[in-house]
Structure 1
Amino acid sequence: MKSNKLYSQALSNNIKKPVTKSEGSKFNLIERQGDLFVNAPQNSSLAHCVSADFRMGKGIASIFKEKFQSVEELVSQKKGVGEVAFLRRNEQYIFYIITKEKYFQKPTRRNFENSLYCLRRLCEELGVKVLSAPKIGTGLDKLPPEFVRKTISKVFDGCDLNMTIFYL
């Protein structure tokens, strides 16, 4: 596949990094106040962080669980930390960014970054151009907001994607 050429395994830390940038593509990150489920564009796919056990009992994850159901479908994908499970609902993808093993743990910076590279690869493979998410990594996961912002910008640099991060 085309996206397989875009990535290579980094020798020192197992993070999948882009080898080249697509000509003419650009990443746009916007942070805005609003309700993700009300204010996200109609053509937007959604993403949020979860644990590999898919408990989703607190925070916005519990809303995703209630709204989209299908926990068994997510579990059956057998994805682990640093990967992304997803559901397809009509023309929309719902991405579950797996940043930690158990719901009560906190993600490492490395696992957070690895999972974002996986998300980038999936967005490119599936043709996702518009993505909306809550403030990932900073709520219950307690990663520093500046680290999260810089990591998102680094990972998606050169990707033809508009990402909006919603906060209340």
Structure 2
Amino acid sequence: MKLIDIDKGRYRRHLNRVLIGCALVLAAGSLLVSQTLIALFPDPDGSHFHWNALGVLVTAAAIGLGLSKYRHHDYLTEVLYVWELKQSLNKITRKMRKLEAAAKEGDAGALLALQYSYAGSRQLWKLDDNTIIMDELNSRQAQLDKLVAQYDLTLNIDDYDEKILKRF
């Protein structure tokens, strides 16, 4: 996955609208489905937990299908990009110990994966206004830059491919 610049304002606006829309649809749809089922199949004991749970599950599945169907719509471009970036960074994070060990040995693939991870994390944290641990990221970036200079390498994050991670 390539890192691209996205408009922070548009991303935040669209993400908030999607989240609010999903919450409203979940609330209304769950009530509609569960109340319909309760009306069709009343329980003499008055316990309708299973119908309420089914209403939530059916509505959540409908929302998931709807988002899946429209995931490539222009309105969701930034939201989908950030979601995929988070998935990509999570894959790297799961291999972080092995990547850091290989990077100290001068493995170009590991160094590239770390460079991608740091650049992607920086972008993600800026989009989400999560700059609390940016100093730690800058420190790790400085360590990575020293390793890159030590092994006389040039890293281009556009060359990153997730397949690199299979070796670790």
TM surpasses 0.5: no
Larger Rg: 2
Could you state the TM-score of these two structures normalised by the residue count of structure 1?
Answer: 0.27
Could you state the TM-score of these two structures normalised by the residue count of structure 2?
Answer: 0.27
Structure 1 or 2: larger helix share?
Answer: 2
